[in-house]
Amino acid sequence: MQKFTTLRATAAPLPMINVDTDMIIPKQFLKTIQRQGLGVNLFDEMRYDDNGNEKPDFVLNRDEYRNAEILITGENFGCGSSREHAPWALLDFGFRCVIAPSFADIFYNNCFKNGILPLRLPQEQVDLLMERAQEFPGEPITVDLQNQVITAGNHKFEFELESFRKHCLLNGLDDIGLTLEKSKAIETFETKDREKRSWLYS
């Protein structure tokens, strides 16, 4: 998993509440178990018309937001079914951070397991960031995970994050990576256990 330290990137504004996982990645794209290739269908029904042509008014189809790595959106983002394809699609598009007043719990947890930082901020701070992203399209904002600070123009906001989640993102550790951190202890146990119960290993 890619480490998350400091991100300076364009923020795309999506001023919608209750964006569910089917809006993020519709069910017809869930046949794959690959994490790559889903970004093109991110927000598919909002991005494309019935003929597969881009809708020019949708935020991610505007040139200034096509390379956005930060998404600013409304409360209860990621609600609905617990599909892990939702953070996969966001990450494959290029998003590394999603900022909202609140998230659905399962989606929130899945983001950390895929190297995405979901940040919960007070509504007034989200509103300010949303307004700046709309008023100054393409203006980068900075998310400093180590110091837990967001900088947008002259505005700085501190954010809270559990120390364990912060450790995992800073070091690029998913569930497998966390297990591998204990590889020496695992090898030591296996060596001792092989001596005690050799019949298990024959």
Question: Mean pLDDT throughout 22-28?
Answer: 94
What tens digit of pLDDT does each residue of 58-91 get? Answer: 999 999 999 999 999 999 999 998 889 999 999 9
CB burial of 122-144 (b: ≥16 within 10 Å; e: otherwise) equals eeebbebbbebbeeebeeebebb
| CB burial of residue 59 (10 Å; 0-12, 13-18, 19+) | buried
Whole-angstrom Cα distance, residue 83 to residue 103? 14
**Per-residue confidence (pLDDT) for residue 117, from 0 to 100:** 98
Q: What is the pTM of this model?
A: 0.88
Averaged over 165-193, what is the pLDDT? Answer: 75
CA distance 129 to 115: 22
List the chain domain ranges. 6-171, 174-202
pLDDT of residue 141: 97
71 with 97: CB under 8 angstroms?
yes
Greater confidence (190 vs 167) lies with 167
Question: Could you tell me which CATH number the domain at 6-171 has?
Answer: 3.20.19.10
159 Cβ partners below 8 Å, 6+ apart? 119, 120, 121, 148, 149, 150
